[in-house]
Structure 1
């Protein structure tokens, strides 16, 4: 889904601190004892050595990065200097432009990969494991209790991804507390139209049809152009295949853990079900058909890709956008700069009529694994035991706070036993170049987490919803949420949702080269083709139902239950394997 665009916006608005880098060394870098009052535990407690031990030589480790790092070495930063003081380890950042997977494949073939390697997909990870390039971490985990505890849910899943059941990796941005990282993509709504209609409590699909129909009547043009009711980039590969059916995730039973192929994941009953025949998928298609019939859905949505969609959104012409809401703040800033400050967008919830009636807690997907942020120690490591000492310390409370929050008195103060971000920290998030001496974001390969510390504050303090809104939303957007009665932009979802961990379900896939894999693709192609017809062709509710029944009758001739059954068989098989690996 335009992965790079989405990644940039999410990181900029939600995980800003993860990318903050530094470039000048601090002359008065705090010592480890100054960074926190606690001391490391487990195997990390001996990292500095006793007075009788000889000091360890400086250990410089190269790490590959595709980020625009301004520093060459980690000890040019205050955080990096603490790491050096404690472990005498320094990381040298090596820029790696171009196709990263191709680079890793070439390095594997030549055996010249670095001591710590970043891998961005499970296929490449599997190649490295089978080639014997990665060092197993099972003995390390047995002697690093805080690492084992912090990643207790992830470690069995990480082992599952290796053909021999051993542990060869750790990952970044897991585990996750959904209260810190609420990723919900519903409907972007124009705030001036909300104000015109008295800030209605929009939720059901009928609510939106009434709201958008009235909005078009009240605002036939916007800045000299025809106003559009709802825009969607259906022409993207993930458009009709993924987001035309995504209504299922808005209720209280399903999540998108299975992706956008032929099945969906029932989080409540812990099983896979057919996507095409799901009642919520049908209701979503009914919704789009009514929008189309009412002239609310932009008819170019079926040919618009992201660029055309973004152009319409950025002009302010659209009253709403479906699902693609991750760029709303950039749109809002652009509208302000264009002299249209009254036109702003906010993300608002939607539910089908049945979902509203059932009023169940929404299942908000929480990823337990991040296969695009894999880190491993390779057999080329000169001193793997020293890397493991550092990795064990990074999993401690001391390590996590230093690496993700910074220093007391500079990035945060302690009030009633809790970390409170300073104005300097907030300034740093808003303008990463304003303070380049800290080093937050230079150690993602030690496993940043999206959970909270023992004080209840997120390790990455920018994940606090109030801070996200203060720095990520325009004043007009914040005012709109306030007028709706929300305390912050995530308030509704936190009140009405609950975490739904992907677990084993997120790892299930059918071999695409197999006969079943071919059948699975035919199911997807059938759904994509007929979803378009179901949105466009029916002229009434009765016509929709007749066409839908005809489509389902043809669909069942494919014997789609074979795929559903195979997914559930694989799930039970992998679940048993994970239980054995715990």
Structure 2
């Protein structure tokens, strides 16, 4: 079993390395160079006097399936960072991105037993775990991943499974200092900025205030740039349906803990899918639809169609998580009309004291990247990841190349205006490799040992420099320094996020989630699009179907999880 005490583990590794350095030359092999080395039975070499194994750099390509995001399929060595890492490790990855339905894709893999070498399964992780598609990583990490173990030292217990094994590496342990994000990449209600300007920059807090602004603007502007205006839309496609079903929770003043809300005093979990909050939200959507303010394709548009609508500039408002529509945000910025861009607002129900959209420091332990049973020489993959997690390579991934993508002044990293614009370009990010390596691989959060932020967007110098005059017009109008200043500070939640609990495939909570997701997806659409006269009956049909499930058992499961985490037990 992998030791939780990393320092003890490091001591053991050091002793092993000393032993290897002193072992007989009879157990070693030589290469074409004149320099002697020692080789273990796995083909790893240790350099005399070095604490880290010298890697076998024979060229090898592994297949890598990323179910977490769309993108252009590519070999990592076609990027500058990927080529740099290949030069060090000999390892290249052939990346394939998800096309179509996630569960269908993963289901075909499981049924056939034909897996790529590495999988980022996202929400389908439990399916692969149940199929025993991932290999345990404990021994591999101990032998080949000292830097990985050091980076994840404080979090290992959070993703070690009940059998004592680690099967995948989550993303983003916070190292050194946590820095809040000055921009909004989490959930919010978004509105075209020009609407606020035309209305005289009003304060907007409640859902009613937000929607009234949109309605008034839509009435006065039935078309935008020759296209029919879409007053309000949302994202409901495939597993991203949570961007619609989570809305009542946020309107009630809670952060994204998944399908439950956690009482701050008792730490008890309560579902909200059939709560008064959900009723009020769906009634609002039903009214929008009846009055002609709702996107008619809300429940049928796919992800690409959704992004295209946002990019067109004819959508006035929507709810979503900022990380899901970055492509559309960049497209609107490039279009050159700042008033068509969106601003995030912390909208809540009337009477809710404060919003909780901003996430507190968190670690998501039930997502990650794993090595499958199909992989030959999995130690080579671990060695690559171990190289990737090193500070010098994380700086390449996050910041790019010094002098091209960032500058350094007295040890502080910053970007010029030109570099900020350059690193926004998707073709640049793809060529360098940032677009492929900054997420869905082992990576860091927080700050580097020199005090610079891991993510450039969290570096004060970059955040302030990235604001254009058109951005400052809105920030100054509201007396804010950053976009995050519109939102309330997050309360401390040591369990956050609750949804990252490891739920075993086939367990009662997993069966509840599977069935409830299907019920919510089917009934929410019916309720939202129903004739207003049928709203109550549609709502009651949903509640009956939902309450037929073991709601009490599901709530108790998360109550136990949260209370255990509060006690420091993960």
TM score, norm. by length of structure 2: 0.68
In structure 1, the partner of 2:32 is: none
Query: Structure 1: which 5+ residue stretches go unaligned?
Result: 1-40, 259-263
Distance 1:564 1:154, change over 3 A: farther
Residues 172, 363 of structure 2: 8 Å contact kept: no
Matched ranges for 1:15-94 at <5 A:
49-50=47-48, 58-65=57-64, 68=72, 73=77, 77=80, 81=84, 84=87, 88-94=88-94
In structure 1, the partner of 2:500 is: 506
Matched ranges for 1:93-108 at <5 A:
93-94=93-94, 96=96, 101=106
Distance 1:581 1:394, change over 3 A: farther
Matched ranges for 1:347-358 at <5 A:
347-355=344-352, 358=353
CA distance in structure 1 between the aligned counterparts of 2:545 and 2:96, rounded to whole angstroms: 49
In structure 1, the partner of 2:409 is: 415
Distance 1:49 1:462, change over 3 A: farther
Residues 272, 567 of structure 1: 8 Å contact kept: yes
In structure 1, the partner of 2:157 is: 156
Matched, 1:564 2:555: no
In structure 2, the partner of 1:496 is: 489
State the secondary structure of the residue aligned to 2:190. Answer: strand
In structure 2, the partner of 1:257 is: 258
In structure 1, the partner of 2:171 is: 172
Q: Deviations over 1:334-375 (max 9, x none)?
A: 6975x97754433333111122xx226446377633656413
Q: 2:449 aligns with which of 449, 454, 459?
A: 454
Residues 81, 397 of structure 2: 8 Å contact kept: no
Note the C-alpha offset of 1:512.
6.7
CA distance in structure 2 between the aligned counterparts of 1:520 and 1:58, rounded to whole angstroms: 44
Residues 182, 364 of structure 1: 8 Å contact kept: no
In structure 2, the partner of 1:248 is: 249
Query: Structure 2: which 5+ residue stretches go unaligned?
Result: 1-9, 18-44, 66-70, 100-104
In structure 2, the partner of 1:298 is: 294
Residues 450, 460 of structure 1: 8 Å contact kept: yes
CA distance in structure 1 between the aligned counterparts of 2:521 and 2:85, rounded to whole angstroms: 55
Distance 1:279 1:405, change over 3 A: same
CA distance in structure 1 between the aligned counterparts of 2:55 and 2:152, rounded to whole angstroms: 29
Distance 1:479 1:579, change over 3 A: same
CA distance in structure 2 between the aligned counterparts of 1:395 and 1:486, rounded to whole angstroms: 35
TM score, norm. by length of structure 1: 0.67
State the secondary structure of the residue aligned to 1:369. Answer: coil
Matched ranges for 1:316-335 at <5 A:
316-323=313-320, 326-327=324-325, 330=328, 333=331
Note the C-alpha offset of 1:246.
1.2
CA distance in structure 2 between the aligned counterparts of 1:169 and 1:320, rounded to whole angstroms: 37
State the secondary structure of the residue aligned to 1:273. Answer: strand
The two structures, once aligned, show a CA RMSD in angstroms of: 5.3
Q: 2:270 aligns with which of 273, 280, 286?
A: 273
Q: Size of the alignment, in residue pairs?
A: 511
Note the C-alpha offset of 1:243.
1.4
Residues 328, 346 of structure 1: 8 Å contact kept: no
Matched ranges for 1:73-472 at <5 A:
73=77, 77=80, 81=84, 84=87, 88-94=88-94, 96=96, 101=106, 114=117, 117-120=118-121, 121-123=124-126, 125-126=128-129, 130=132, 134-137=135-138, 140-141=141-142, 147-152=148-153, 154-160=155-161, 164-175=163-174, 179-180=180-181, 182-223=184-225, 227-232=229-234, 236=237, 243=244, 246-258=247-259, 264-266=260-262, 268=264, 269-289=266-286, 291=288, 295=291, 297-298=293-294, 300=296, 305-306=301-302, 313-323=310-320, 326-327=324-325, 330=328, 333=331, 337=335, 342-355=339-352, 358-359=353-354, 361-362=356-357, 364=359, 368-369=363-364, 373-376=368-371, 382=377, 384=379, 391-392=385-386, 394-398=388-392, 400-406=394-400, 408-409=402-403, 411-421=405-415, 425-426=419-420, 428-431=422-425, 433=427, 440=434, 447-462=442-457, 464=459, 467=462
Residues 189, 344 of structure 2: 8 Å contact kept: yes
Note the C-alpha offset of 1:557.
8.7
In structure 1, the partner of 2:40 is: none
Q: Which has the higher contact order (CA 8 A, sep 6+)?
A: 1
Note the C-alpha offset of 1:195.
1.4
CA distance in structure 1 between the aligned counterparts of 2:434 and 2:232, rounded to whole angstroms: 40
CA distance in structure 1 between the aligned counterparts of 2:14 and 2:413, rounded to whole angstroms: 24
CA distance in structure 1 between the aligned counterparts of 2:383 and 2:300, rounded to whole angstroms: 52
